[in-house]
Amino acid sequence: MKKICLLGIIAMVAAACSNIEEDERYIYVQPAEVQRAVLIEDFTGQRCVNCPNATNAIHELQQQYGEENIIAVAIHSGPFAHRNTLTSPFLSDLGTTDGDNYYTHWGIEAQPGVKINRQSPIYDTSQYAAAVTSELKKTSPIDFDTIQAVVVDGNLKVLIRPSLPSENIDAKLQVWVVEDSINSGTPERKYAQYMPDGTTNTEYVHNHVYRASLTQDLYGDAVKFSAKEGFVVDAINYSLDVSSTWNLDNLSVVVFFWNETDGVLQAKRVKVVQ
């Protein structure tokens, strides 16, 4: 009876993940001329068997256009990030309460599911390239002159100086901490991953993982900029105490402007220095 129940659970997990046939996974899309960066919010989970396929598809886009133009954030969340039921081999979980809030707020219905520049969720990896190409071609009315991220005495300090906008801007600013190269480097922190072939990879390396938000509002702090001559853009500062579970050498901040009408206007990722 126990064997039958186990098989049933595995079948449910596999069915719940978004699953695309191998010969339908990739569609060639003519490369775009890059006008601005694109943010990919990847709603994922360690127990999602098909999520590594989404990670691979995003990585291919980063190889094609550059990681500075394709900015990915892996948001561990939803039904495949059960932080209250940790059992071997999942001795540690990458899910966060923030991630669950984002998952619910954006109406994510399956994993892997991605939002590209805050447009409607996409569940088919073969559609990523077309959506990214469309967003890369759009120009942005605003950019970043300076972003600095420094850890001093355990406190992350971020300074952001936007450029002068080409039009009036009424948007929200979000600042996230992400961590790369998370794996099972220490016995007590084993970040395993279910794989598409049915195996469990206890050495899987997790990259650009969402760790925390620095903005006062989880969905971004309201900002307004004027395109009128003489308008001065002031620097914006944030700070956050870093967690002892984060590897400072592998931290970056992802900063982006967005609004409800246009989605993400511009995004940038900057390495944290000590």
**Cα 104 to Cα 101, 178, 255, distances in angstroms:** 5, 20, 22
Q: Which of 192, 211, 202 is nearest to 74 (CA)?
A: 211
Amino acid identity of 224?
A: K
**Do the Cβ atoms of 81 and 42 come closer than 8 Å?**
no
| Structural tokens at position 28 | 């060639």
> Count of residues for the chain?
274
| pLDDT tens per residue across span 238-271 | 999 999 999 999 999 999 999 999 999 999 999 9
Helix (H/G/I), strand (E/B), else coil: 224? strand
Distances (CA, A) of 127 to 26, 119, 136, 206: 8, 13, 15, 23
Of 238, 237, 216, 234, whose CA–CA distance to 225 is shortest?
Answer: 234
pTM higher than 0.85 for the full model? yes
> What is the distance between the alpha carbons of residues 123 and 109, in angstroms, rounded to a whole number?
9
Comparing CA positions, the residue from 43, 46, 49 lying closest to residue 12 is: 49
Look at residues 231, 169, 193 and name the one whose alpha carbon lies nearest to residue 55. Answer: 193
Instruction: Specify the DSSP class assigned to residue 208.
Output: S
Taking the C-alpha atoms of residue 48 and residue 102, their distance in angstroms, rounded to an integer, is: 17
Reported as type and span, the H/E element at residue 71 is: strand 70-76
pLDDT single digits (tens) 3-59: 334 334 334 444 456 555 544 454 555 566 888 999 999 999 999 999 999 999 999
pLDDT tens-digit series, residues 156-178: 999 999 999 999 999 999 999 99
Tokens of 206: 């997790």
